[in-house]
Amino acid sequence: MPGLSEFSLIKQYFEKVSTPQSDVLLGIGDDCAIVQADINQQIAISVDTLVEGIHFLPNADPESLGHKSLAVSLSDLAAMGATPTWFTLALTLPEIKESWLAGFAKGLATLAKQHQIALIGGDTTRGPLSITIQVNGFVKTEQALRRNGACPGDDIYVSGTLGDAGAGLKLKQNQLNVQQGKQQQEVFLQQRLDKPTPKIELGRALRGIANSAIDISDGLVADLSHILEKSQVGADIELEALPISSALMDIVSKEQAEQLALYGGDDYELCFTVPPEKQDALKKIKGNYTKIGTTTNEPRKVVFYRDGQQAELIGKGYEHFSIED
């Protein structure tokens, strides 16, 4: 823990983040927080750490970082169909810099408010910049969306568009040659990397409809493979169906866009499977999602198609776009 005046500073910034909620009986300021559990619901819990230089680039904008730190954890709640309730924040800071704290707290508070999730406590230490957020959410008893529920013959869907964040990272690292006049597209792709939108509403709406779900943090192929592994099914994927944003199409070739959509990380969209008898119920859900394939009875086997013809993928997985490796 830093010195007393420094601590009061931190407290000041993070008490501001803490939105009042009736189920928070004791928030920041004591040895523990106390919250009111709900007997009719189960609690989904997840924790994620972001380390400077590993998960985000050095000198990242603090407000975006505040947003992203919470967004990646909220995305895990979305993938379970859970409703966010409380979170804790463990911060390791190399120094106490007020402008950094103000920006970080603003990004965090804005997203927290949007999803009505209360900051109820945390820890502050000195060291290389690292942010750990633990989130809690309510999910109706036995209704959580899990990775192990897919059955052969389910349709496979993804939300939003894929590959944008991977391209955003390449842009930041000057690894893409972009023609003049594409600034708008560049800004869009970098925003997709810096400020992902956790798909909380979609996740909640999919309860009772999807057989399985996961959020796409490491790339579609990597994350879908977790569903295939846990559910012991395979997948037929139609490459022409992959949802690609017009911004991404404007910036890279079709082949690159496809590679980014399949293997790029950090999109934080949902991938989920829906059985045939739930397709009508799915159609009633508002939101942006696209069917990209079907599950099969060949455990873990992924077969790609292009316009219905089996396709060989060139350079399959040869490049990993995450800065994590």
Which residues contact ligand ADP (rule: CB under 6 A)?
1, 10, 14, 28-31, 89, 91, 119, 121-124
Instruction: Tally Cβ neighbours within 10 Å of residue 135.
Output: 25
* From the list Mg ion, ligand ADP, none, partner contacted by residue 121 (C-beta under 5 to 8 A by kind): ligand ADP
Q: Over the range 277-306, which residues count as b (16 or more CB within 10 Å of their CB) and which as e?
A: ebeeebeeeeeebbebbbbbeeeeebebee
Choice between 122 and 160, CB closer to ligand ADP: 122
Choice between 29 and 53, CB closer to ligand ADP: 29
Choice between 87 and 157, CB closer to ligand ADP: 87
**Residue 273, Cβ density class (10 Å: 0-12 exposed, 13-18 middle, ≥19 buried):** buried
Whose tokens are 């949902």? That residue is 270
- Residue 299 DSSP one-character state: T
Choice between 51 and 178, CB closer to ligand ADP: 51
**Nearest distance, CB of residue 78 and ligand ADP, angstroms:** 23
**Nearest distance, CB of residue 123 and ligand ADP, angstroms:** 5
Residue 79, Cα to own-chain centre: how many angstroms? 9
Choice between 69 and 83, CB closer to ligand ADP: 69
Rounded (5°) CA angle 183-189-192 = 140
Stretch of 2-10, 122-130, 271-279, 298-306 contacting Mg ion, by CB under 5 A: 122-130
SS3 286: coil
The size of the chain, in residues, is 325
Instruction: Tally Cβ neighbours within 10 Å of residue 43.
Output: 14
Choice between 26 and 187, CB closer to ligand ADP: 26
**Nearest distance, CB of residue 124 and Mg ion, angstroms:** 7
* From the list Mg ion, ligand ADP, none, partner contacted by residue 91 (C-beta under 5 to 8 A by kind): ligand ADP
**Nearest distance, CB of residue 132 and ligand ADP, angstroms:** 10
Whose tokens are 């190399």? That residue is 94
Instruction: Say how many residues touch Mg ion, by CB under 5 A.
Output: 1
Choice between 13 and 289, CB closer to Mg ion: 13
d(CA 170, CA 167): 5
Is 125 a binding residue for Mg ion by CB under 5 A? The answer is: no
Choice between 123 and 240, CB closer to ligand ADP: 123
* From the list Mg ion, ligand ADP, none, partner contacted by residue 30 (C-beta under 5 to 8 A by kind): ligand ADP
Handedness of CA 262, 299, 156, 111 (dihedral sign): negative
**Nearest distance, CB of residue 84 and ligand ADP, angstroms:** 16
192 - beta bridge partners?
A: none
Is 123 a binding residue for Mg ion by CB under 5 A? The answer is: yes
Question: x-or-dash pattern for Mg ion, window 82-121, by CB under 5 A?
Answer: ----------------------------------------
**Nearest distance, CB of residue 47 and ligand ADP, angstroms:** 14
Q: Which ranges constitute the DSSP H helices of 58-182?
A: 62-80, 98-114, 164-172
Instruction: Report CA Rg, the chain.
Output: 20
d(CA 248, CA 254): 9
**Nearest distance, CB of residue 24 and ligand ADP, angstroms:** 12
**Nearest distance, CB of residue 19 and ligand ADP, angstroms:** 13
Residues that bind Mg ion (CB under 5 A): 123
